[in-house]
Structure 1
Amino acid sequence: MVSEYLKKNTAEYHDAAEKLFNSEKIFNKTFSLEDYKKIINTNYLMLLHSEDKIFNNLCENFSEKLQLNKRVKLPLIERDLASLALENQTASHDFELANEHEALGAMYVIEGSTLGGNVIAKQLSKTEGFDDVTFNFFGCYQENTGPMWKNFKEVLDTEVTEENYSDVLSGAKKLYTFLLNVN
């Protein structure tokens, strides 16, 4: 299954992203508003430079099965930027996808961040200093986070054949690399 293949082969990138964002501080309640602004700003730049490219690379079949219209996150994170009084910025480098399978791999990174973001939003909402924070991006699916992730994984695992695993992994690595270097 491609979802397991991706999880195994992107673990080092996932760990690097957690380190970059000081994720351990979220759970020991030392995560600050400045830390949160950094994570929102970086994710904003990732979405700004990837979301349209991902969606435009996916055929109608994937668009329907993945319910892409329900997965648009850029407007949500732009609301977070505004509420945190952060300015829209542009990334220092470009992000490109070669094909539909790379787009699915990049989408794996974004959907995975949404899954983790739900946990982050719940934890930070109990942390001092986050009373007035609206978690538009991290709370985007609300109680549907689990079903949306499950749907995404099922579509990946049923639609992607083994000969395309390397392209899907390439897309995931490209977006993780972009995310880790965008600051």
Structure 2
Amino acid sequence: MVSEYLKKNTAAYHDAAEKLFNSEKIFNKTFSLEDYKKIINTNYLMLLHSENKIFSSLSENFSEKLQLDERVKLPLIEKDLESLALKNQTVSHDFDLENEHEALGAMYVIEGSTLGGNVIAKQLSKTEGFDDITFNFFGCYQENTGPMWKNFKEILDNEVAEENYSKVLTGAKKLYTFLLNVN
């Protein structure tokens, strides 16, 4: 199953992202508004430079099965930027995909961040200083977060042949690398 292959082979990237964003502070309630602004700004830049490329790289088959229109996150994180009074920025390097399999790998990173984001939103909503924050991006799927992730993984596992696992992994690594170097 490609989802397990990705989880195993991107664990170091995932851990690096958690370290970059000071994720441990989320759970011990020392995460600050500045920490939150950093995580939103970095995720915004990732989505700005990847979401349209990912979606346009996927065939109609995947677009329909994955319900891409329900997975658009850029407008949501732009609302978060606005509410935090952050300016839209650009990045110094590009993000490119070679094929549909790489796009699926990159989408794995974004959908996984949505799963984690739901946990982050729940924790931060109980943290002092976050009373007035609306978690548009991190709360994008609301109560459907689990089912949306499950649906994504099932489609990935059913549609990606084993000979293409490395291509999917390449896409995931590309987006993680972009995310980790975006600041």
Please classify the TM superposition score into its range, dividing by the shorter chain length: over 0.9
Give the corresponding residue for 1:181.
Answer: 181
Distance 2:154 2:86 in 1: 36
Distance 2:11 2:87 in 1: 31
Give the corresponding residue for 1:2.
Answer: 2
TM-score by length of 1: 1.00
Give the corresponding residue for 1:76.
Answer: 76
TM-score by length of 2: 1.00
Give the corresponding residue for 1:130.
Answer: 130
Q: Aligned partner of 2:102: which letter?
A: E
Give the corresponding residue for 2:161.
Answer: 161
Secondary structure at the residue paired with 2:129? coil
Give the corresponding residue for 2:17.
Answer: 17
Give the corresponding residue for 1:60.
Answer: 60
Distance 1:90 1:133 in 2: 24
Distance 2:167 2:54 in 1: 13
Q: Aligned partner of 1:147: which letter?
A: P
Distance 2:60 2:91 in 1: 29
Secondary structure at the residue paired with 1:140? coil
Secondary structure at the residue paired with 1:164? helix
Distance 1:131 1:85 in 2: 16
Question: Which portions of structure 1, spanning 4 or more consecutive aligned residues, are displaced by more than 3 angstroms?
Answer: none
Unaligned 5+ runs, structure 1: none
Give the corresponding residue for 1:112.
Answer: 112
Distance 1:48 1:81 in 2: 12
Distance 2:90 2:137 in 1: 18
How many matched pairs? 183
Secondary structure at the residue paired with 1:137? coil
Q: Aligned partner of 1:143: which letter?
A: E
Give the corresponding residue for 2:38.
Answer: 38
* Residue 92 of structure 1: how far off its partner (Å): 1.1
Q: Over aligned residues, Cα RMSD in angstroms?
A: 0.2
| Identical pairs, percent | 90
Distance 1:33 1:104 in 2: 32
Secondary structure at the residue paired with 1:90? coil
